[in-house]
Amino acid sequence: MAVVVSMNIARAQDQKINVVVIGAHPDDCDLDAGGTAILFAKMGHRVLFVSVTNGDAGHFNKGGVELAKIRKAEAEEAGKRFGVTYKVLDNHDGLLMPDLKVRSELIRAIREWKADVVIGPRPYDYHPDHRNTAIALQDAAFMVIVPNIVPETPALKKNPVFLYTEDRFKKPNPFTPDIVVDITSVFDQKVFAVSAHQSQFFEWLPWLDGQLENVPKTESERLKWLANSRKGSVSKEARTSLQKWYGNKADQVKYSEAFEICEYGSYPTDEDIQRLFPMLGK
């Protein structure tokens, strides 16, 4: 099938903007797009986080059903703190394959949320679940508007804009910060929300990093510690993009989240982007 380039003009499918963020594990959406999600939610828009796996492998001394239960509870708590709905699909962590079952689950989730914007990882990342989530998401990108596919869930009328979240990988091509959102004003809320994933940020990831004994004990110190390790930095390319979207205010941005336009969904104009990301420029 050969679709004309101009086919799908991105447009909010109802009054509110409907955003779906897809991550491989129950903390990926949070880190990659959590600040942006808070901003959408504060403006009254609707955000769904989807974790494609249940996270049941991500720990050093827990696993399986016990861990999956903990991580789902953490995700639900994080969802409340972000102001979003958090959905955890029951696929095993560390074993995800980009098959038709997972593709269908993503198509269904995107359609049911009537998404205008869908955000997820690039297929170039260190974790196979991330790469396979990205492939499944790319595979869903056009299919969400094809009525004969997953026919029991009505197809969208307009193809959403699909965006990639930022990563540090350079091969085969580096991430491009097409859209950069200033999250300075909500960074503390993001850190607080992210910290709901206690099994990850205060147990598993420090253990992986040989830092388990250095994890602070008190809540407030943990937040500081987390904020410090996750503040990121604004790259030169992201700074340029910030100037495009925020003008003079760009210089005052301390924390940001960046997104790259995926070529397989609806391709937005700058105007589309400003309409779909109403926090830009503010």
Among 42, 44, 80, 90, binds its own copies (CB under 8 A): 90
Residue 170 engages its own copies in binding (rule: CB under 8 A)? yes
CB of residue 61 vs its own copies: minimum separation in angstroms? 8
Instruction: Report the site for its own copies in 11-30 (rule: CB under 8 A).
Output: 24-25, 27-28
Residue 242 within binding range of its own copies, rule CB under 8 A: no
Interface with its own copies: number of residues (CB under 8 A) = 74
**Whole-number Å distance between alpha carbons of 154 and 112:** 8
Stretch that binds its own copies, among 36-44, 50-58, 216-224, 274-282 (CB under 8 A): 50-58
Q: Would you report the helix, strand and coil content of the chain in percent, each value rounded to 5?
A: 45, 15, 40
Q: What is d(CA 277, CA 250) in angstroms, rounded to the nearest whole number?
A: 16
Binding mask 117-156 for its own copies (x = CB under 8 A): -------xxxxxx-x------xx-xxx-xxxxx-xxx---
The smaller minimum CB distance to its own copies, of residues 61 and 248, is found at: 61
As a whole number of angstroms, the distance between CA 140 and CA 104 comes to 8
Using the rule CB under 8 A, give the single segment among 91-99, 212-220, 233-241, 242-250 that binds its own copies: 91-99
Of residues 171, 217, 220, 248, which one binds its own copies by CB under 8 A?
171
Q: To which residue do tokens 């940020």 refer?
A: 201
Q: How far is CA 193 from CA 86, 116, 253, in A?
A: 12, 24, 20
The phi, psi pair for 278, rounded to 5°, reads -65, -10
Residue 85 touching its own copies (CB under 8 A): no
Element (H, E) at 256: strand 256-261
* CA distances (Å), origin 44, targets 17, 40, 41, 100: 9, 7, 5, 34
CB of 58 to its own copies, least distance (A): 5
Residue 78 within binding range of its own copies, rule CB under 8 A = no
Contact with its own copies (CB under 8 A) among 3, 44, 221, 240: 3
Helix (H, G, I), strand (E, B) or coil at 166: coil
Alpha carbons 61 and 68: distance in angstroms, whole number: 13
Residue 270 interacting with its own copies (CB under 8 A): no
